[in-house]
């Protein structure tokens, strides 16, 4: 039940992304990408910053369970809306033995076609 609801929200409101593993396999997936700020930057060993400050370097990805962030993991490239990110940490959220969604910490590596 929970998986259907969460997957439905991600598919309806999420951004279309392409995930490319370091081994070359790729999948299309939908998800949300948001900047990490000082309150949630502990995931990447960050330090305290003033209220409202964003360094723009790290992002949180929440996506469909079909993107196995724990398996594809470190080094996977996520492309979305002209941006390119690399996964620095990936994991799955599990509830009662069922994968509900993927979660990954991303680092921005380019800002569009001109950065490649």
**Domains present along the chain, CATH in parentheses:** 2-44+56-115 (2.40.10)
Q: Enter the DSSP assignment of 13.
A: H
Is the CA virtual torsion 31, 110, 90, 52 positive or negative?
negative
How many Cα neighbours within 13 Å face the side chain of 50? 1
- For residue 33, the cross-strand partners are 61
What was the pLDDT predicted at 42?
Answer: 52
Per-residue pLDDT of the chain (116 residues; tens, 9 = 90+): 788 999 999 999 999 999 999 888 899 999 999 988 655 445 555 555 544 444 558 899 999 999 998 888 889 999 999 999 999 999 999 999 999 999 999 999 986 544 44
Position of tokens 């969604």? 101
pLDDT of 110 reads 80
pLDDT at 103: 94
């Amino acid at each position: 039940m929970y998986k259907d609801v969460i997957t439905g929200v991600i598919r309806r409101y999420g951004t279309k992304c392409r995930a490319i593993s370091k081994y070359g396999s790729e999948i299309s997936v939908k998800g949300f990408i948001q900047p990490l700020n000082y309150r949630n930057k502990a995931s990447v060993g960050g330090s305290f910053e003033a209220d409202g400050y964003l360094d723009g370097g790290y992002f949180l990805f929440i996506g469909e369970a079909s993107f196995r962030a724990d398996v594809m993991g470190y080094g996977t490239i996520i492309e979305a809306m002209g941006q390119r990110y690399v996964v620095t940490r990936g994991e799955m959220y599990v509830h009662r033995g069922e994968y509900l969604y993927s979660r990954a910490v991303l680092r921005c590596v380019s800002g569009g076609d001109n950065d490649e």
